[in-house]
Amino acid sequence: MSEAFAWRAGGCHCGGVRFEVALPSRVEAQSCNCSMCAKTGFVHVIVPESRFRLTKGADRLAEYTFNTRVAKHLFCSECGIKSFYRPRSNPDGWSVNARCLDEVEGLEIVIEAFDGQNWEANGASLAHLSREHA
C-alpha cells in the first residue's frame, strides 16, 4: 500500500463495533439523499476492500436490506449506529461513515452531494472509488 495512506480508527457509540480505514489526507465524501441515507445521516467515504478492516464486533452487527438487496446496511445491534456498510454502488468495497471516525485532525473531508434518489442514473459514477490501485 502507498505511504500516502494512514490508518484511522472509528466505531459505533457503545464501543461494540470498531473499524480501521486507510485514508489519504484529503478524501471525497458523499452525502446522499436516498430514503436510507436521509434517515441515517450517513456521510460516505468509499474505499476498496483492502483499505478497510473490522477490528471488533462482527457478532454485534445487524444487517438490513431492501429494494435490490445488494447494499448490506450494517448497524450495531446495541446502539444502532451504522458506522460502515457494503454499498450498492461499490459491492466490492466498503463505505465508512465519516461521522464515526474517532479523529479527523489532519484529514480534509470534502463532502459532495450525491443524488441517490436517482440511483440508476448516478450509481456508476462512484464505482472507481472501490477500485484497488496497482
Partner 1 sequence: MTRLAGQCHCGAVQASIEGIAAAELSLRACQCGFCRRHGAMSTSHPQARITIAAGEGALNRYRFGQKLSDFLICANCGSYVGSLAETDIGPIAILNVRGVDLPGFEGRAAEPMTYDGETPEARTERRKARWSPAELTAQPSRA
69 binds partner 1 (CB under 8 A): no
C-alpha 56/C-alpha 12 separation (Å) is: 10
C-alpha cell at 124: 456508476
C-alpha 47/C-alpha 130 separation (Å) is: 5
Binding mask 95-134 for partner 1 (x = CB under 8 A): --x-xx----------------------------------
Nearer Cβ to partner 1, position 34 or 132? 34
Of 87, 99, 97, the closest CA to residue 126 belongs to 87
Where along the sequence are the contacts to partner 1 (CB under 8 A)?
Answer: 12-14, 35-36, 38-43, 62, 64, 66, 73, 75, 77-83, 97, 99-100
